[in-house]
Amino acid sequence: MSVTSPTLRRVLLLSGCFVATAAWADQLPTKEGVADIAKTQFSPYAGRNFPTRVYFGDTHLHTAVSVDAGTMCRIGQEDAYRFARGEEITTTHGLRAKLSRPLDFLVISDHAEMYGLMPQLLSGDPEILSTEAGKRWYDTLTSGNNEAVFATAMEIVGSLSGDVPPIKSDRAVQNAWQAYTALADKYNEPGRFTALIGYEWTAIGGYNLHRNVIFRGDSTVANRTVPFSQFDSKNPEDLWNHLADFENETGADVLAIPYNGNLSNGRMFTVETFEGKPLTAELAAMRIRFEPLVEVTQIKGDGEAHPMLSPNDEFANYEKWDKSNLNGTEAKTPDMLQWEYAREALKNGLMLEKKLGVNPYKFGMVGSTDAHTALAAVEEENFFGKHSGVEPEPHRWEHVVIEAPDPKFTIKGWQQAAGGYAGVWATDNTREAIFDAMKRKETYATTGSRMTVRFFGGWEFNEDDALSRLPATAGYAKGVPMGGDLPKRTTGKPPSFLVAAMKDPLSGNLDRIQIVKGWLGEGGKTQEKVYDVVWSGDRKPGDEGKLPPVGDTVDVVNATWKNTIGSPELEGVWSDPDFDPAEPAFYYARVIEIPTPRWTAYEAQRFGVKMSPDVPMSTQERAYTSPIWYTP
């Protein structure tokens, strides 16, 4: 993330701020202690053989420990956990902040690059100050010369993409990493709140080929390595090799989640290797082994689909950041889009599978925040922004989020999407259960709303299954859940899908559930179609088979809406009317809410500011499930 704006200088100047990390190490929980808690608090659903609850969380959050966030944010990892668990904390700017409801899990994924450097640098750590850059940065950051402070902050952010770390202190990184893993263990409470250990590998900064690496195990596992950084390698293939070595050496399990393909300028989901050679089966297998999920929606834009790739999809133009790469140094051209968006990647995956025998893009979907504020706060009426330069204040809608050399690629505050949570159908709220559910892709992405979504595929579903009291019972008995493969076809029937969704009790009613199908058609050409499957009210599809819009009750001035349209629940069974048993395909569900006020509307109302007319004021929150695949 690069952050530059004159308006932020004031904030950057305060970058003498930092948080305590030193006191963490002396309160390690014991295994027995955790087991005791587990005994008294364990989920009562543990006996069931399928997941009965969806757990919501954020797999991607930065705190002051991240080198870039650390120049502006002074909230550290401990407060990030407390906030996610539902406690009230005070933000970098002194506001009181609290979530409407606790999250069930959190991955604090601070940048691997110079991990933990900023707090150590600013506390005058002798280890760091003994390096040339450390001394210089410390001197300028504490010089009182704000031009120098700003320049140094930018130098630090820029150095994330350099070839050598300006400060290389293996011991400092290890200290910070182990302080973090100990803290994660301390806040991990099986059955109540899961603190998965993770970090972000931040390679090719300007093109966002970043990944969040997540561990299944506890600190004893994670401490057997240190974060793999882009200084180790900028090539994702090397990251997979590193993860494979780590798994082989330790017997541990890890996974990696890429995100923001929309800012990669055609590099995230290519059909080539990192170096531009034809993709091999081995590399495709490595990718899908370690990258079962993609984070498709977050503050820096939504990456499910794009209107130019899906011209018939009237919902594809949602919170798009599609003018350039991440740092705005290169304009986007239309031919890049096909390698950036999740739906297109899923389609290209079918094509690659036919060619290589392996589908590198057989991934499921999650959403997350990528907030650099230590606050996983993306509810529309409670949105704390991308980084601490755009935390709530009357004019943040027009402040700069990312400054580009060419002003037309500069991202303004209002363009931030208040979004991204991961819904996970795990058998329990534990590290192991949540990790395993991620690995089997039984997950969905939401744009910040906490709707409950079920999606099953099989060959025998019928209307009665949708009417049954607990669709999951039929779903698991007769088919596979989201993220799965359809069982072998033994009937002459097309595949059928059981889909059900329930609104977030605090958000809008549901407009419709759609099923998105992608397949490999004649001549190996990829195809897609979006089907409206169930919807609220008695709307009838129009001439072109399109369902009319649900309506709009949003009162922008007062930032309210009414649930007089839409439905609190939708459920149905759908059979593919265009099924061709010879064609490989995937299906995923997309659930759309009725329009509700966007965060900008809440803010205009709250601060009494008038925003320019191009600022959107309402939104239709949505969820994307992991696909279910059909292979002939």
Partner 1 sequence: MMRLLREPLLHFLILGAALFGLNAVFVGPETKVPQKIVVSAAQIANLEQTFARTWQRQPAPEELKGLVEDYVRDEVYYREGKALELDRDDIVIRRRIRQKMEFFAEDIAAAEPTDSELNAYLAAHPEQFRMEQSVSFRQVFLSSKRGETLDADVQEIAAALSHANGTEGASLGDGLLLGSEFNAVRRSEVVNDFGESFAEELFSSDTNSWQGPFASAFGLHFVFVSERSEGGLPKLAAVREAVAREWANARRVENLDEFYRALRGRYDVVVETPPAKREARAEAAGAVQ
User: In Å, how far are 79, 515, 608 from 605, measured between CA atoms?
Assistant: 29, 36, 5
Backbone angles phi, psi at 171, to 5 degrees: -70, -40
Nearer to partner 1, 505 or 545 (CB): 505
Report whether 204 contacts 234 (CB < 8 A): yes
Nearer to partner 1, 305 or 376 (CB): 376
Minimum CB separation of residue 142 from partner 1 in Å reads: 5
Residue listed under structure tokens 């949570």: 421
Minimum CB separation of residue 628 from partner 1 in Å reads: 19
Nearer to partner 1, 98 or 289 (CB): 98
Minimum CB separation of residue 452 from partner 1 in Å reads: 6
Question: SS3 for 461-488, per residue?
Answer: CCHHHHHCCCHHHHHHHHEEECCCECCC
Nearer to partner 1, 101 or 354 (CB): 101
Minimum CB separation of residue 149 from partner 1 in Å reads: 8
In DSSP terms, 513 is beta-bridged to 534, 591
Nearer to partner 1, 97 or 197 (CB): 97
Report whether 54 contacts 425 (CB < 8 A): yes
How far apart are alpha carbons 303 and 257 in whole angstroms?
14
The secondary structure element, H or E, covering residue 134 is helix 132-141
What is the number of helices (H) and of strands (E) in the chain? 16, 27
Q: How would you classify residue 537: left for phi > 0, otherwise alpha for psi between -120 and 50, otherwise beta?
A: left
Nearer to partner 1, 141 or 263 (CB): 141
How far does CA 23 lie from the centroid of its chain? 30
Nearer to partner 1, 9 or 529 (CB): 9
Nearer to partner 1, 345 or 426 (CB): 426
Minimum CB separation of residue 217 from partner 1 in Å reads: 18
CA angle (535 as vertex; 531, 541 as ends), nearest 5: 60
Minimum CB separation of residue 44 from partner 1 in Å reads: 4
SS3 321: coil
Nearer to partner 1, 254 or 378 (CB): 378
Q: Which two tokens stand for residue 309?
A: 């790739």
Nearer to partner 1, 37 or 288 (CB): 37
> What is the side-by-side strand order in the sheet with 569-575?
479-481, 452-458, 496-502, 569-575
Count of alpha carbons within 13 Å of 623, Cβ hemisphere only? 32
Minimum CB separation of residue 173 from partner 1 in Å reads: 15
Closest residue by Cα to residue 571 from 477, 454, 482, 445: 454
Nearer to partner 1, 138 or 630 (CB): 138
Nearer to partner 1, 23 or 582 (CB): 23
Question: SS3 for 527-580, per residue?
Answer: EEEEEEEEECCCCCCCCCCCCCCCCCCCECCCCECCCCCCECEEEEEEECCCCC
The secondary structure element, H or E, covering residue 146 is helix 146-159
Closest residue by Cα to residue 120 from 34, 19, 41, 209: 19
Nearer to partner 1, 34 or 308 (CB): 34
User: In Å, how far are 347, 365, 383 from 362, measured between CA atoms?
Assistant: 9, 10, 32
Minimum CB separation of residue 282 from partner 1 in Å reads: 40
In DSSP terms, 591 is beta-bridged to 513, 623
How far apart are alpha carbons 139 and 624 in whole angstroms?
48
Minimum CB separation of residue 74 from partner 1 in Å reads: 9
The secondary structure element, H or E, covering residue 282 is helix 281-290
Minimum CB separation of residue 295 from partner 1 in Å reads: 23
Minimum CB separation of residue 458 from partner 1 in Å reads: 18
Report whether 255 contacts 290 (CB < 8 A): yes
Nearer to partner 1, 115 or 383 (CB): 383
Minimum CB separation of residue 568 from partner 1 in Å reads: 4
Minimum CB separation of residue 572 from partner 1 in Å reads: 12
How far apart are alpha carbons 159 and 480 in whole angstroms?
46
Minimum CB separation of residue 491 from partner 1 in Å reads: 27
How far apart are alpha carbons 535 and 557 in whole angstroms?
28
Size (the chain), residues: 632
In DSSP terms, 613 is beta-bridged to none
Residue listed under structure tokens 């007319």: 613
Report whether 610 contacts 428 (CB < 8 A): no
Closest residue by Cα to residue 342 from 263, 421, 261, 287: 261
Nearer to partner 1, 129 or 331 (CB): 129
Minimum CB separation of residue 54 from partner 1 in Å reads: 10
Sequence-distant (6+) residues with CB within 8 A of 10 are none
Nearer to partner 1, 531 or 607 (CB): 607
